[in-house]
């Protein structure tokens, strides 16, 4: 049974990686057509991703009618056509300073997001596999991340505009150390988008809050939303939605939060759910 679902959908939000996009960073024609059908009906369609603005594929942005891009897990929202920022929330200085020791840790690849782009220590690019970056993600990482010589100095220069900090790890021992180190601080929101990373954003920053901002702006009740996701950073918006949809190969947390489990990510899962609920 859908939570308060009255048969009407006014807004659809979709995650990208593992949801609309497959591991080749492409989407199916059937999913594109399903979103287009919804847009033609007057349904607002937005992207909700952990990616930065500059990392959203142009092919996604070119889908006619996608109105807004929720980026870096809800820290920034942009108008898709104009790139005008509609909303921004940053990490506090105290939060950033609390993780200084991890920014240049030898066994962690740290990524700092600011100005719509992720930055990383140039030294990390020599061996991405060491930090848990799988082959399918490595080419995208090299293309989308901007290397800097000194990530600590770079971060210091942008303390008031850090959108997100990601920590990538290559083994279970490092994962557990990071989880223990980052949990329970109260200074930031801790989440994950992939099995090989943890991410921190400002207190109260998440995809659900960003979608709620757009719903209030557009006059769409939360019960008339449909949200698609596949990982831990999607759980909040899946629970928020009138219809929360998890992909068939989603993380257990996402499937447990969902009203409906669809096909695997990047494999027509969005179209399958839209066909089920939107006549």
Tell how strand 197-201 and strand 146-148 pair up.
Answer: unpaired
CA distance 236 to 220: 18
- pLDDT tens digits along 157-171: 999 999 999 999 999
* Average pLDDT, integer, range 103-110: 93
Confidence label for 34 from pLDDT (cuts 50, 70 and 90): very high
Q: For the chain, which domains are there?
A: 11-89+205-277 (3.40.50.1000), 93-201 (3.30.1240.10)
For the chain, percent of residues with pLDDT exceeding 90:
95
Which residues make Cβ contacts (< 8 Å) with residue 83, sequence separation at least 6? 53
Q: What is the pLDDT of residue 7?
A: 80
Average pLDDT over residues 37-47: 98
Of 194, 199, 182, nearest to 112 (Cα)? 199
Nearest to 107 by CA among 178, 161, 169: 169
Edge-to-edge strands of the sheet including 164-168? Answer: 146-148, 117-121, 109-114, 164-168, 197-201, 189-191
- Compute the average pLDDT of residues 82-94: 97
The CA distances from residue 32 to 37, 59, 107, 182, 196, in Å, are 9, 10, 39, 38, 28
H, E, C per residue of 185-241: CCCCEEECCCCCEEEEECCCCCHHHHHHHHHHHHCCCHHHEEEEECCHHHHHHHHHC
Please report the pLDDT score of residue 5 as a whole number.
65
Residue pLDDT, tens place only, 222-263: 999 999 999 999 999 999 999 999 999 999 999 999 999 999
Q: What confidence score (pLDDT) does residue 126 get?
A: 86
Whether the CA torsion 18, 106, 90, 140 is positive or negative: it is: negative
- pLDDT score recorded for residue 162: 98
Given its phi and psi angles, is residue 245 left (phi above 0), alpha (psi -120 to 50 degrees) or beta? beta
**Integer Cα distance of 31 and 47 in angstroms:** 13
Per-residue pLDDT band at 279 (split at 50, 70, 90): confident
Span 69-86, mean pLDDT? 98
* Angle of CA points 243, 247, 252, to nearest 5°: 95
Q: How far apart are CA 179 and CA 181, in angstroms?
A: 5
Residues 118-172: pLDDT tens digits?
999 999 988 999 999 999 999 999 999 999 999 999 999 999 999 999 999 999 9
At a CB cut-off of 8 Å and minimum separation 6, what does 116 contact?
A: 52, 53, 54, 71, 76, 78
Model pTM above 0.75? yes
Cα-only R_g, the chain: 18
**Rounded CA separation 127/83 (Å):** 33
- For the stretch 172-197, pLDDT in tens is 999 999 999 999 999 999 999 999 99
Averaged pLDDT score across all residues of the chain: 96
Q: Has residue 22 got a pLDDT over 70?
A: yes
Distance from the first to the final alpha carbon of the chain = 18
> Does 2 score more than 90 pLDDT?
no
Please state whether beta strands 85-88 and 76-79 pair in parallel, antiparallel, or not at all (unpaired): antiparallel
Q: Are 18 and 262 in contact (CB under 8 A)?
A: no
């Amino acid at each position: 049974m859908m939570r308060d679902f009255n048969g009407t959908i006014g807004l659809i939000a979709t995650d990208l990686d593992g949801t609309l996009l497959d591991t080749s960073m492409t989407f199916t024609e059937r999913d594109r057509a399903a979103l287009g059908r919804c847009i033609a009906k007057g349904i607002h369609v937005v992207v909700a991703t952990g990616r930065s603005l500059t990392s959203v594929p142009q092919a996604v942005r070119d889908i006619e009618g996608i109105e807004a891009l929720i980026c870096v897990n809800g820290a920034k929202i942009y108008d898709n056509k104009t790139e005008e920022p509609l909303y921004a929330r940053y990490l506090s200085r105290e939060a950033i300073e609390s993780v200084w020791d991890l920014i240049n840790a030898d066994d962690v690849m740290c990524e700092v997001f600011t100005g719509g782009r992720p930055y990383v220590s140039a030294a990390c690019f020599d061996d991405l596999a060491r930090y848990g970056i799988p082959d399918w993600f490595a080419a995208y990482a090299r293309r989308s991340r901007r290397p800097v010589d000194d990530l600590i100095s770079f971060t210091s220069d942008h303390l008031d505009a850090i959108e997100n900090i990601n920590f990538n790890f290559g083994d279970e021992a490092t994962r557990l150390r990071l989880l223990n180190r980052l949990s329970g601080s109260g200074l930031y929101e801790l989440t994950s988008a992939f099995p090989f990373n943890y991410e921190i954003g400002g207190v109260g920053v998440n995809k659900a809050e960003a979608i709620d901002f757009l719903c209030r702006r557009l006059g769409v009740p939360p019960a008339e939303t449909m949200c698609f996701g596949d990982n831990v950073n999607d759980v909040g918006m899946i629970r928020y939605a009138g219809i929360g949809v998890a992909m068939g190969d989603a993380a257990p947390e996402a499937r447990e939060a969902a009203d409906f489990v669809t096909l695997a990510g990047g494999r027509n899962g969005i179209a399958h759910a839209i066909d089920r609920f939107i006549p």
